[in-house]
Amino acid sequence: MRKRHMSIADPQPARLFFTGLLLVAASGNNAAPAPPFVFSDQTEAAGFTHEGASFAAAAADFDGDGWPDLAVSNHGHILLFRNTQDGRFENVTNRGVFERADTHGLAWVDFNRDGWPDLYVSRGAELGRRDRANVLHINRQGKRFELAQLGPVLSNAPGRGRSAVPWDVDGDGKLDLFINNFVNDDNAQILAIYRPEGFVDLAEQYNWARVYASDVTVVPRRGGTLYVTHGHPRAGGRVWRLTRKDKFAPWSGRLSIPKQTETRATYVAAGDVDNDGDSDLYYVMRPRSGEGAVLADQTLRFLFLVSRKGVEKGFQLCATGKASLEFWKEGLPEPGIARLGERKHRLTHQPWHLSLESLMFQGEPEIAADETGLFLWRDAEGCLTAEFHGSPGELQSVGGRIRMKQSPESFEQWGTNPPPAETRNKLFIDDGDGFLEDSVGAGVDDPGPGNDAVFADFNNDGRLDLYVVNGGMFGNPTNRLYLNMGSGRFHDVTASAKAGGYKEGRGASVLVFDYDLDGDLDMFITNGFGPSPERDRGRYQLLRNDSDSGNWLRVQLKPTVSNSMGLGVRLVLQAGGFTQSRPVTAGTGAFATSWLPVHFGLNEEKTGTLTIHWPSGQTQIIPVKANTAIVATEPSPPDSGDIP
């Protein structure tokens, strides 16, 4: 039975206001064992038909009807979907001008402070070869989106944008913006600080300009907010703090960041998994580099990356019979990037069907020193040889797929840097003095390779569970759903919950939201992360939570003094003898900022007490009932009166 009982209320408590931070003591969680739950695939039923590249997804109620809508970045264009309230999503991309570009991260932010979520899109520079400005789409009450005229700070033209994370960095009550770039020798990070006359870039002043970060996880913590950088190959999951002199500096507290000589942190999720009031960290790891060739099921898949040291890369495939060939240049289909035989025949379309003994492969080509491409020919042994010749400024990567009718006799490759067999994710528990690793003990040391993760209470038992999105170099490893059993242990329920994701494509990101407003959390997963050819088969996946699970509470924040998104708010729910803490931050998944209500699971409890700490210093205490959605309006500051 699916819970659909919901009531809407704007609580007006007995004006009990006080200042100061409520310290949350961990209490014993004597909740009953969680009931079974399962997800059902609603992708087609919801109207999602996209198949191809994708990057990130972010949700917000952009038309003001109370239901969460959706924006998806497809690493080339944006799609906008309106929730039609009947389980379907309508493509309404025509409500704005969303031009094709190297689109990456998405952030729903109220830039003009009118209460309507605007959409900020981070765009890359097409591998650094050109300027490609970020763009802002201003929401005109959900009816249309207008392209804003941005100044040099928000436009970030040469930056190679990856994501944008809003946060009140300087504590003035206005939202600032981390504009995160793929930093190299000729660009820098932007820290856009709000000023009445417009945003100013203070990255240099704050010692942030040269920090490696494609994304940032903000972690409010007793003793000061922490900022965890990840995504960039050199970000390393480093933790930063803001000093009293308004300078970012490495945090010197206890945290053994994983050594990343061969691996890197692609994302860092934060959540209070042990209900002690402190946010814990989950590091999603994957290989620093991933290239090479893999032969499986009579199909050879390969990816070659340019080497700045001039290392030759290629393979030899001893096979005969019919085959089909497909090639990709820097992630996009490009049959002409391959040169066949001594005459350097170029393919005009793909897949190209031919025999591996074809005369097109005859003769070894003469390759000039400045010539780029993928060269294939049949060598003296009668085997197909391939050599990749790239250039950092002209040809960064080549991928391909050769499907054979017969199994090859032999295969070998050279010059490549294949990823390690596995990379283990890391869970760090905050004990108040620092972070202690407990990945193996907790049972969440997933081998990946991963791209995203999120903490969420999927079965409404009052404990945060964990979902991990995996994406291999070729093929899609199973995603993982770990159920929080309490006492520091998680249980892998991926198979029984039917949450493993698609085998096709390559996992990119996950968005957790209650799209049908039935009180349990659903998931939207993107599966088109590069490189090709896997990403070209990447479908969206909408997983509906069909649990007959515990009770719930949904809290929509309505600031009046604090920033309009409520970022920096701390919510504490006491129910059934234990306490849950939810700090409101921007990041809702890899490269994405959503604007959503705060969700609590209550297990079997019927009532509770919700304490809301607003950034303005005001505190509300609200009695709440199970299975309700409330709108919590920030109280006005008390009248200070005349000061003598």
pLDDT of residue 309: 60
Residue, of 11 and 142, whose pLDDT is higher: 142
Residue numbers of the domain that contains 314: 292-414
Average pLDDT over residues 615-621: 94
Asked if 153 and 186 sit in the same domain, the reply is yes
**DSSP string for 26-63:** P----PPPPPP--EEE-HHHHT---BS---EEEEE-TT
In one letter, which amino acid is 253? G
Among 50-54, 125-129, 354-358, 473-477, the range scoring the smallest mean pLDDT is 125-129
Kindly report each contact of residues 150-153 with a partner whose C-beta sits within 8 Å and lies 24 or more positions away, as own/partner: 151/198, 151/199, 153/179, 153/190, 153/192, 153/198, 153/199, 153/200, 153/201
Indicate the pLDDT class of residue 332, thresholds 50, 70 and 90.
Answer: confident
Quick: pLDDT tens for 238-249. 999 999 999 999
pLDDT of residue 288: 66
In a domain? residue 462: yes
Q: Report whether pLDDT(306) > 80.
A: yes
User: Could you tell me if 220 and 210 are in contact, meaning their C-beta atoms sit under 8 angstroms apart?
Assistant: no
Residue 603 φ/ψ region, left for φ over 0, alpha for ψ in the -120 to 50 degree band, beta for the rest? left
178 phi, psi to nearest 5 deg: -80, 115
CA distances from 598 to 512, 521, 527, 576, 581 (A): 11, 11, 26, 19, 11
Asked if 179 and 315 sit in the same domain, the reply is no
User: Could you tell me if 70 and 89 are in contact, meaning their C-beta atoms sit under 8 angstroms apart?
Assistant: yes
Tell me the whole-structure pTM to 2 decimals.
0.88
pLDDT of residue 36: 66
Q: Tokens standing for 357?
A: 């003994």
In a domain? residue 21: no
Residue at a domain's end among 547, 570, 604 = 547
Asked if 110 and 78 sit in the same domain, the reply is yes
Indicate the pLDDT class of residue 159, thresholds 50, 70 and 90.
Answer: confident
pLDDT of residue 591: 95
Nearest-CA neighbor of 121 among 596, 593, 595, 452? 593
pLDDT of residue 296: 85
Collapse the DSSP code of 89 into the 3-class scheme (helix H, G, I; strand E, B; otherwise coil) and give the result: strand
Biggest alpha carbon–alpha carbon distance for the chain: 98
Asked if 85 and 179 sit in the same domain, the reply is yes
Scan for tokens 């005349």, then name that residue. 642
Nearest-CA neighbor of 87 among 515, 512, 514? 515
Nearest-CA neighbor of 583 among 558, 559, 613, 560? 613
Percent with pLDDT over 70 in the chain? 89
Count of domains for the chain: 3
Indicate the pLDDT class of residue 232, thresholds 50, 70 and 90.
Answer: confident
Among 151-165, 325-339, 526-540, 570-584, the range scoring the smallest mean pLDDT is 526-540
Indicate the pLDDT class of residue 234, thresholds 50, 70 and 90.
Answer: confident
pLDDT of residue 3: 42
In a domain? residue 31: no
Give Cβ neighbours of residue 235 (< 8 Å, ≥ 6 apart): 212, 213, 214, 229, 264, 265
Residue at a domain's end among 489, 521, 547 = 547
Residue 160 φ/ψ region, left for φ over 0, alpha for ψ in the -120 to 50 degree band, beta for the rest? left
pLDDT of residue 111: 93
pLDDT of residue 10: 41
Give dist(CA 596, CA 587) in Å, integer.
11
Asked if 448 and 539 sit in the same domain, the reply is yes
SS (H, E, C) 105-162: EEEEECCCCCCCCEEEEEECCCCCCCCCCCEEEEEECCCEEEECCCCHHHHCCCCCEE
> Residue 434 burial by CB count (10 A; 0-12/13-18/19+): exposed, middle or buried?
middle
Rounded to the nearest 5 degrees, what angle is found at the Cα of 511, between the Cα atoms of 91 and 168? 105
How high does pLDDT run on average in the chain? Answer: 88
Indicate the pLDDT class of residue 25, thresholds 50, 70 and 90.
Answer: very low
Give Cβ neighbours of residue 466 (< 8 Å, ≥ 6 apart): 269, 273, 282, 444, 453, 454, 455, 480, 481, 482, 484, 490
Asked if 275 and 387 sit in the same domain, the reply is no
Quick: pLDDT tens for 111-132. 998 999 999 999 987 655 555 7
Indicate the pLDDT class of residue 549, thresholds 50, 70 and 90.
Answer: confident
Residue 114 φ/ψ region, left for φ over 0, alpha for ψ in the -120 to 50 degree band, beta for the rest? alpha
Q: Among the residues of 465-624, which ranges form H helices?
A: 494-497
Q: Report whether pLDDT(66) > 90.
A: yes
In one letter, which amino acid is 383? C
Q: Report whether pLDDT(643) > 50.
A: no
User: Could you tell me if 120 and 134 are in contact, meaning their C-beta atoms sit under 8 angstroms apart?
Assistant: yes
pLDDT of residue 11: 39
Residue at a domain's end among 363, 389, 414 = 414
Asked if 179 and 168 sit in the same domain, the reply is yes
Quick: pLDDT tens for 574-603. 998 889 999 999 888 999 999 999 999 999
CA distances from 309 to 126, 234, 339, 415 (A): 22, 19, 23, 11
Quick: pLDDT tens for 471-502. 877 778 899 999 999 988 999 999 999 999 99
Asked if 349 and 392 sit in the same domain, the reply is yes
CA distances from 198 to 48, 55, 154, 192, 561 (A): 38, 30, 10, 9, 20
Quick: pLDDT tens for 400-452. 999 999 999 999 999 887 766 667 899 999 998 899 999 999 999 998 889 99
pLDDT of residue 14: 33
CATH code for position 590: 2.60.40
Indicate the pLDDT class of residue 1, thresholds 50, 70 and 90.
Answer: very low
Asked if 300 and 245 sit in the same domain, the reply is no
In a domain? residue 45: yes
In a domain? residue 627: yes
Asked if 558 and 528 sit in the same domain, the reply is no
In a domain? residue 619: yes
Average pLDDT over residues 279-306: 87
Give dist(CA 222, CA 269) in Å, integer.
18
Asked if 273 and 170 sit in the same domain, the reply is yes
The bridge status of strand 592-593 relative to strand 103-109 is parallel
282 phi, psi to nearest 5 deg: -125, 115
Asked if 107 and 244 sit in the same domain, the reply is yes
pLDDT of residue 388: 95
Give dist(CA 435, CA 430) in Å, integer.
4
Among 111-125, 171-185, 378-392, 628-642, the range scoring the smallest mean pLDDT is 628-642
pLDDT of residue 53: 87
pLDDT of residue 539: 93
Give the count of alpha carbons within 13 A of 114, CB side only. Answer: 11
Collapse the DSSP code of 589 into the 3-class scheme (helix H, G, I; strand E, B; otherwise coil) and give the result: coil
> Residue 158 burial by CB count (10 A; 0-12/13-18/19+): exposed, middle or buried?
middle
